[in-house]
Structures are given as structure tokens and as C-alpha cells.
Structure 1
Amino acid sequence: MGVIEKILGVIFGNGRNLVKDTAEVFRENAESGAQRGQQLQIAAMQSFVEEFYPEQRGWFDRAMDGVNRLPRPLMAMACLGMFWAAMVDPVWFSERMVGIALVPEPLWWLLGVVVSFYFGARHQAKGQDFQKSIAASMARVPWVVDQLEGLEHRRVPDAPRRGAVAVQSDENPALADWKKQI
């Protein structure tokens, strides 16, 4: 027995596992890799939350958000107003359209660029706000899981898994009195 014990002691000795340590040189330990991945994901989500949700927005930011909401409704109302003007006073409307026809083509291109950049920037800002909300929701996942686990411990063992959660009567005196009355 002493010889086998010494051979196994060389391979697995001193509380270490030589086979395991050698294998980890060629292949990552799955459990350690999963822990590192989880820590990395939590750190990335926390970074998103900190970046996209500043503590408080000032009055200027709120005012600019209000101003940014004006162009689209104003352009829609202006188009409807032009249709209305064409029906009410066709001569007045025709005079204005002749004036627009005299605008040089490079100015139309410039207007197209300005409007495209405005709406493109607005679209990007809304997309980033959406990403912020996703990051905030994902940051709340551990808290929700903890709450669900806490509720699961309060479930009566023979209660159905779906529907209302049955609470044990010794935890709620009002519920115990109600059950006595039925």
C-alpha cells in the first residue's frame, strides 16, 4: 500500500490535483469562467446605468427636450395649413408657391441636410434612451430575483404553483380569523 500511496501522492499530493491543474492549462475551468463572465456582465450593466442615467437633469436639459419636440408637430401643422390656404385663397397660395419655386437648388439640398441631421440626431437620442431603459431594467434583475425567492419561501407547500399565492395562516392573523369564519 505504501508504494501506491506514494505514486498517488506524487500525482494528487499536497491537497493539489496534478491532473486537474494540468488540464486547466489547456482548457478553462468552466465554473471559474462563468463567475468571471458574471462579474464582467454585472460591471458592464452598472457602467451603462451610471453613463445613461445621471442623477438629476437640470432645467436647461428639460427645456431643450421641450423645444426638440416642437419641429415635427409644427411641420405637420404647416403642411395642413398649406392645404387649407390653397382651398381658402388659391391666388395667395399660388403667389407663395411661385416664391418657393425661385429658391435655388443648393439651398434645397442644404435644407435637406439640416432636416436629415436633425431627425437623425433625434432618432439616435431616442435609441440611446431606449438602451438606457434596457440597462436600468437589467440592473434591477438581481433585486427582482431576490424578491421572487423571498416570496417562494412564503408559499404553502401544497398550494398550487399558478394563480394566487397561499400564505400560511400563522403569519397573518386577519387571514386566520377569516378562515375560521368560512
Structure 2
Amino acid sequence: MGMIARGLDLIFGDGRNVVADTVGIFRESAENAGARETQMKDAALSQLAAEFARPRKGLFDRIIDGLNRLPRPLLAFGTIGLFVVAMVDPIWFASRMQGIQLVPEPLWWLMGAIVSFYFGARHQAKGQEFQASVAETMTRATTVASNVKALEEMAAPRTPAAPVAESGGNPALEEWRGRDGG
């Protein structure tokens, strides 16, 4: 039995798993990968927090923020303008479109990449805002449901009160009915 134990110690090491250590060289440990990913996310968040730690109030910052807001409206209004020009002066529009056909294909790929990244980042940010607003709305759903139920109860038609019995309940009413002839 001692020789078998020494042979296994030779293969697996003294208290260590030589096979696991060897595999660890060729395959990443999930635990270590998770730790590295957590460190990377923490570093990115701290960098972002440091960037927005102080409010930017300078003229340069306001100008740059204004310029960052221009591309979307310019693209939208420019596209609408192209439709208007195509209807107003089709010959002028067609000649400009012929010029666009001369743009080389790599430039179109570059333009597509720039627009995709710009609008893709915007789409992701707006998508996250939308998910947060949906979650907020869902937290208010029970309050809204109880309010709607209360409003429906208020709007429900009410049954009229039962008529007063004609016999012996109200002497003034009996006298009034007698004068009226009914």
C-alpha cells in the first residue's frame, strides 16, 4: 500500500493536484476570471465617478455639450429636407444623388460605422432608461389598480331608494296627497 501511495504522490504531488495545476495553465479558472472581471468593472466605475465628480460649468464645456446634441436633429431635419427638395426640384436633387454615387465604398463603410456607434450608444442608454422607467411604473401598478377600482365604484349606477310606504308613515305627506287629489 505504501508504494501505491508514493506513486500517487508522485503523480498528484504532496497535497496538491498536479493534474489540476497543469490544466490551470491551459484553461482559465472561472473563479480567477470572475475576480478579474469584478476588478475591471470596479476600476471602470471609479473612473466614471471621477469624471463626473465635479460639475462642468465652463463656456467650453457648454459649447461642447451643445455640439454633441447637434448630430441627431441635423440628420433628421436634413433627411426631411432631402424629401422636400426632391419634390420641389427633382432635377437638382437627381444631379446631387448622381454625385453621391461617386463616393467610394470604403467611405460608406466608415460612415456606417460612425453612425452605428453614435446611435448604438444612444440606443443603449435610452434602453436602460426605459427599463428603469418600466420598473418604476410596475412599482406603482398596485396603487393605480386600487385607484381605478375606487373610481369605478364611484361611477357605478346607484339603485334608487325604496319608496316610502303609503300607509301611516308621514301625516304631512298624507295631507299633501289628499289636497292634490291623488
Query: What TM-score, normalized to structure 2?
Result: 0.38
